């Protein structure tokens, strides 16, 4: 196990806090804009995906604001220690803030499953509007969201602080300065890294085992569709491609720092600068998701252009297709 602390300004709490707050200045108005456009500018042809898209957008916005304003978490993996710099610290115990962060990531995965299942249901299934199908979908999503909230609870079964955790942290992460070790906000999870990796692995297996079949079946249907006109098939392919891009960009943004965290757990190599950078990078996932959503979906793109005076003429030339996708 190695520990790297450069004692630079980029590793200070002030720089970290200021950076996240600066990001939030961009995030908040953009998320509000995205919410407004989804609610008011979604055309009838996208009505069936409107609410799953809105939920995914709002949850991405929540995660961004949770990291950049509400919690502002400072992590020290793999010693399972850290503290919060956000306003939640003054309201909730640190272990509850940690659980909310874990649960937020869990719900995001379920929202992505719901997103792909929505497309599968309305494109591939022939019984999508039947009562029995709606009940099955409801049970499926209730299970997924309940699972996401519960599977990540084991690390928090013993929320009380471990005796001598500061001395243990100082021994395992000797590079950390005394201002960190004896920070009154410092909290150490009363669990093991093995348990955390195990529950995260179970969660990822369950989520991916659902996303992949929905994606494959829907892709195959869209690519081989022969029961509609060429124009309708083309529009459905374009729309599904846009949805995949909308999901993949923020997914990659989350995957990179998450992969680094797994690497830290496996190797035990702590680097404060990279850990802080990973948290800041994750906080932009909803921001980039909103930007991509407004860019790849033509109705949203032209609705945005209509709000810019010099671009109104271009937006007026756009005519929405009446085909349902």
Domain extent listing, the chain: 3-316
Looking at per-residue confidence, does 312 or 111 come out higher? 111
pLDDT score for 212: 92
Helix residue spans in the chain (DSSP H): 13-41, 47-65, 94-123, 131-150, 165-172, 178-181, 193-224, 230-267, 272-282, 285-296, 298-306, 312-316
- The whole-angstrom separation of Cα 41 and Cα 32 is 13
Q: What is the mean pLDDT of residues 163-188?
A: 85
Q: Which of the 8 DSSP states describes residue 129? A: T
Rounded to 5 degrees, φ, ψ at 12 are -80, 155
Instruction: Indicate whether 229 pLDDT > 80.
Output: no
What percentage of the chain carries pLDDT values higher than 90? 36
- The whole-angstrom separation of Cα 241 and Cα 266 is 36
Chain position carrying tokens 């150490």: 188
Instruction: Place 320 in a pLDDT band, splitting at 50, 70 and 90.
Output: very low
pLDDT score for 68: 93
Instruction: Indicate whether 317 pLDDT > 60.
Output: no
Rounded to 5 degrees, φ, ψ at 187 are -135, 140
> Which residues make beta-bridge pairs with 75?
82
Instruction: Indicate whether 58 pLDDT > 90.
Output: yes
pTM of the model: 0.85
pLDDT score for 23: 92
Instruction: Place 310 in a pLDDT band, splitting at 50, 70 and 90.
Output: low
- The whole-angstrom separation of Cα 98 and Cα 116 is 28
Instruction: Place 315 in a pLDDT band, splitting at 50, 70 and 90.
Output: low
For β-strands 3-4 and 270-271, DSSP reports them as parallel
Task: List the CATH code of the domain at 3-316.
Answer: 1.20.1070.10
Of 22-26, 226-230, 233-237, 278-282, which has the strongest mean pLDDT?
A: 22-26
> Structure tokens of 323?
């085909």
- The mean pLDDT value of the chain amounts to 86
- The whole-angstrom separation of Cα 116 and Cα 240 is 10
> Which residues make beta-bridge pairs with 74?
83
By C-alpha distance, which of 32, 59, 37 is closest to 50?
Answer: 37
For β-strands 270-271 and 187-188, DSSP reports them as unpaired
Q: Coil, strand, or helix at residue 250?
A: helix
Lowest mean pLDDT segment, chosen from 80-94, 188-202, 226-240: 226-240
DSSP string, 256-319: HHHHHHHHHHHH--EEHHHHHHHHHHHTTHHHHHHHHHHHHSHHHHHHHHHTSGGGHHHHHT--
Instruction: Indicate whether 277 pLDDT > 60.
Output: yes
Instruction: Place 267 in a pLDDT band, splitting at 50, 70 and 90.
Output: confident
Contacts of 183 (CB under 8 A, 6+ apart): 83
Contacts of 274 (CB under 8 A, 6+ apart): 260
């Amino acid at each position: 196990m190695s520990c790297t602390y450069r004692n630079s300004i980029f590793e200070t709490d002030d720089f970290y806090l200021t950076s996240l707050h600066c990001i939030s200045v961009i995030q908040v108005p953009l998320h509000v804009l995205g919410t407004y456009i989804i609610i008011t500018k979604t055309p009838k042809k996208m009505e069936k995906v409107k609410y799953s898209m809105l939920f995914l957008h709002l949850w991405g916005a929540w995660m961004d604001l949770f990291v950049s304003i509400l919690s502002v978490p400072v992590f020290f993996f793999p010693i399972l220690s850290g503290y919060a710099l956000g306003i939640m610290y003054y309201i909730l115990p640190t272990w509850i803030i940690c659980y909310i962060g874990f649960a937020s990531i869990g719900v995001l995965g379920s929202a992505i499953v719901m997103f792909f299942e929505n497309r599968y249901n309305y494109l591939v299934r022939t019984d999508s509007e039947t009562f029995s199908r709606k009940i099955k979908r409801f049970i499926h999503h209730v299970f997924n969201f309940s699972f996401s909230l519960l599977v990540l609870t084991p690390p928090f079964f013993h929320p009380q602080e471990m005796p001598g955790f500061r001395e243990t942290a100082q021994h395992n992460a000797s590079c950390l300065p005394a201002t960190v070790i004896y920070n009154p906000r410092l909290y150490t999870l009363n669990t093991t890294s093995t348990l955390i990796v195990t529950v995260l692995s179970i969660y990822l297996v369950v989520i991916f085992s659902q996303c992949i079949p929905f994606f494959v079946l829907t892709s195959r249907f869209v690519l081989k569709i022969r029961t509609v006109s060429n124009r309708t098939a083309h529009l459905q392919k374009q729309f599904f491609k846009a949805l995949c891009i909308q999901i993949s960009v923020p997914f990659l943004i989350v995957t990179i720092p998450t992969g680094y965290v797994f690497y830290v757990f496996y190797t035990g190599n702590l680097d404060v600068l990279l850990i802080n950078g990973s948290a800041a990078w994750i906080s932009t996932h909803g921001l980039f998701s909103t930007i991509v959503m407004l860019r790849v979906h033509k109705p949203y793109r032209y609705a945005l252009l209509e709000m810019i005076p010099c671009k109104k003429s271009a937006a007026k030339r756009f005519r929405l297709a009446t085909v349902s996708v």
